[in-house]
Structure formats: structure tokens, C-alpha cells
Structure 1
Amino acid sequence: MANHNPTLTQGSSRLPSKQERHRLFGSVDPIPGNKPTEKEKMVDLQNTPKDFLFALDQVGISSVKHPAVVHSTLSPTVQTTVANFALTTSLVQNSKGINMSRLTEQLDLYHQQGWDLSLKHLCQFAEELAGRMKQSAATIEVTFPWFYERPAPVTGMTGLMHAEAMMRVHFDEVEGFTATVGLKAMVTTLCPCSKEISEYSAHNQRGVVTAEIELTDAQTDWDWKKALLEAEETNASACMHPILKRPDEKRVTESAYENPRFVEDMVRLVAADLYEMPEVAAFFVECRNEESIHLHDAIARVRYRK
């Protein structure tokens, strides 16, 4: 086939320089500018005082992925995970905006100092952030996968499970701190109606249980992850497992048959456990069954303040 590129000839591999190639694909030289390049001389629109109609409850950044250290009373007791942050502050009426780069600056500073995702550190972060931004309030919300070791019920073979954890800390210079935490975990649920009407067997499915709690102490060192996981799993028909041999599978399926649960049953049972926890001021529970014999999911929710 004939070579129609005038630059490349038979037996030659010569190309234009990288600068020439960029120009070939549309790059142009920078235009001479007349605006200042020194920070001190630049116009700061965000900090220009004026009446901007409304104060704002929250303004900031979200979907910030960052490595974070998590401690747990379940093995592995220390783990590094990838967390998703949302960092916001309030905004007074006479300011146009906030300096958003300071949000990620503080996140990186804390990371360099070796912080972990404890409520105490998040409260400290929120209070310092509000002060740094010269605002009266700040909120940090973070979600992350939390891993925990799970042994099989008969053979004891272990593997790692994971659940989706959430932490939300709010600081207000007048009202102080509030903290909400949550956990979303997978369980097995077996249909009570199917068990009741069928001559043999019963359909079961994967249930997704979400529990969120408002804490009585925003800076507690209580292992809420373990407590929420136990509330969700011990009320289900059966737990999920990463490794199951045949004796384990027999135990799990028989346990599910012995403990049938509707979604309504699940949220009420989990709610009862949360109600009995003194560390919990208010709670929200949801169970969603990914139905195995229907095209739809089944869902139930409850919200309660003590």
C-alpha cells in the first residue's frame, strides 16, 4: 500500500517535533496577558463584601476520594480504605463564596498528620474547618467500605466481608456537635408466607439492611460499626458468608428456614435492638429485599426518636 504521508517515507521513521505535532492538532501560543499573576494583587471576588440576599446552610465540595485509616474491634482491627468525603461550611449573607481550596488543604494536612476516621477526629476537623473558613458551622460526611473477618459456621474457614459505613459530623458554634453514623449490610431473608403455603422449601433472597443512628455523644469511642452489624445480622434469617463448604451451607440454609423474615419483620426487630442501645438518640432503619420470584423489590422503613 502506498504511503500518502509526506513526512514518513519508505524506510524512514522521522516525525515532526512534539511542539510541531501539537501545533498540527490545534495548539497555539499563549496570548500576552495584562492581569496580575501575584496572589496579593489578584481580585478576590469570594471575599468582596456585599449583600448577597441569603445566608447559606452548606456550601463546599463532595465526591472527594481519599485514603483513610479505620479502627475496629473486629479483625482486621486496623485497615486502610478509600473514603468518599463531602466537606461543607455555612456561608454568611455578605460573602459571595468560600475559598474551596482550603477544604482539600485541610484534608491533606490531616492525612499527613496520620489521622483516622474516628468521631473525635471528625469533630476536631469540623470545628477547625469552620474557624479556618470564618463561618459559624461546618459539616463532614464520609462513606467508606468497612471490612471484617467472617468465619464459616461449621468449618470455621474465614474470609473477608464488607459493609458500607457512613459518618456525618456537624459543628455549630452555638449548638456544638451532632453525629450520625450508619451501616448498610447484606443479609439473607426467607419468606414466611412461602414457607407457610408450600409443601416443601421456601424462596429466599438477599436483603439490604440500612441503619442510621444519631448518637447521644458525638465524640464517643463506642464501636458503632460492630453494634450496627450485629443488630442487622442477628435479626435476619441468616448471615452472608464469603466462604462456605458443604457442612456450612447446610447450616446456613437450615438457619434461614428456621428464621423466616418479612421486610416488615426486619425493620421492627432491628429497631428494637437500636431502641435498647443507650448510645442511640434516634434511628432510621430500612430493609430492601431483592426478591427472587418477583421483578420488584420489597421495602420497609421506620424512623424513631427516643
Structure 2
Amino acid sequence: MNKVSLQISLAPSDYRHSLYLLEHQINVFKDQVDEILLTYDTHKSKGHFSSNWELYNEKMWHFLYNVEKSSSKIRLVKIDYSREVNFIIANTFFKKNRIPAKDWRGGPFYTYFFGIYASSNPFVLHIDSDLFFGGLSNTWISEAIELYNNDKTILFINPLAGPPKPDGQLIGQDYRQYQNLSYHFAFKGMSTRIFFVNKNRLSEHTFSNIRTKKIEELIRALYRGNPPFILPEQFISANMAEQKRIRVDFKGKAPGLWSLHPPYRTNWFYENLPTIIRKIEQNEVPESQNGFYDIVDELVDWSEAKAKFRKI
């Protein structure tokens, strides 16, 4: 059974970019998946992850409610933190009775596993709410399924992180070529930013050692009132290394598919989102962007954000 759910994680703090990006993301994948699951986080973090939570909570829910009504494929659910659901998820992926809501920073933990659990189909493509996509292949999902089913060492598959570089290489990433295939790259670890996975294959792994043992992280977790747990991508990546599993990023048949991530949020960024989306969809990106996963200065003016960091 090769049915697929696109699962997008959303929270009140995502409101300003979701007004434009959510439609872009849905349009990229709607004809390739059987379900579009929007999971909405109602558990407020402590720290910068909860920025503008109260300001946008009601607006975001109303916006998502209207998005759900636009297509029968779209399903909107609030993340269920109940003891009963937590037990099912914890037992499925951790062989434990309970897992935390957040990691030691106050960042998402439970949300990733709830998204996989709540998806109706065995294959799940998870994406964070702030990702952009270029290339816009309409066959990437079917190609990913074929690749996944043919290689049991693969645990996760991703589109390319950044538009393809003409020399076939990546910038700032630790990888090897996968089976000597063009624009196919193998990685030892994963990223929770985006991943394509079969939930049944994932449940074969039992994730342990999920509490942080680093003194600095323990102190910061205690100070901020957060659970002392490691970031999911860190303990999942460690498990992959132990079990000799890999992640594969690939471009796919022309025009292929690739993602971009904004490293900052600025007023200029929010005000120019429609133009940024259009440029990325039409592959109007600078040469410096090729092979790199974060949106570069030549595509988006990040001077406002960098000026703030220099003052800190």
C-alpha cells in the first residue's frame, strides 16, 4: 500500500509566513498525495518558540479552518497531548509509557511523532511550515516511494536541500554519493525540518537515550522550565548510525524538487513573501544559492536580522 500523507506542522507563531507559504506548499504536493494533514500545536513552549503565541492563536486557527474547507484532501487537527494518545505514541516509537511535549530548548518534540501517528497513510512526508520548494516536480513522491521500497537501508528520503549545483555537489553538508547516481546523496543522519518516511519502517526502531546528559543543556532546561530531552533529530540520527540506516536526498526526474529554508524572520521577509515564493517557484535564484539549503543574502535581504545579531 503506497498511499501518502503530506503532514505540515503549524503553530500560532507561524501565522505571518503561513498566510502565503501554506498555499505554496499545498500546491506543490496536492496532486501527489492522498491526504494533507495540518497539525496545529496548542501547547505553548517557553522561550522564542512561543513568539506571538497569544497574538496569533485565534487568527491562525480561523485561517487554517478556512484552508481545510478548500479541499476534501485537507484535514486539520489540534495536536492531542492527552495521556491516552501520548501512551500510544510513546509505546510505538520508544517502548515507553510517556514522552515529553518539548525538548530542552522548549522546541517541538512530541509534535513530530504525533504528526506521523495521526497521518492516515503508511507513507508520510513531513514538512515544517516555513519551507519553500522549487523545481516543482509532479513525480517526486512516486519516485521516492520506488527508491524507498527498493532499499531497506533507507529510513528517510528528502528532496534536495537547495537548487541543484551544476557540478552535482552540495555546500556545507556531510554526505556521500548514493549508488553513483546523479543528484542522489546519502547521509548518516536526518533533519526534522523535512522527511519522507514509512511509519511502519520507522516503528521498527526503538529510540532510547533521549534525555540530555550535557550539563549546560540540563541547566538551561531547568532554568527555563523545559523537559531535559534531546532534540529528536539528534537521537534519531544516533540510532540511524547504530542501525546502519541512511537518509537519501535526491533531485528526481526533470524538473526535480528542492527545498529552501529561511534562516531569519524580518519585516522585509514577511512583506516580500509573495515575490520570494514566485522567484523560487520560477527558479529565479542567484548562482550562490545552488547547492545550499538556507536562503542566501542575494535572494532575500537579511541585513535587518544580521544587524540585530551584531548588537547582541
- With normalisation by structure 2, the TM-score equals 0.25
The structure with more radius of gyration: 1
Q: Which has the higher strand share?
A: 1
Q: Which has the higher helix share?
A: 2
Higher relative contact order (CA 8 A, sep 6+): 2
- With normalisation by structure 1, the TM-score equals 0.26
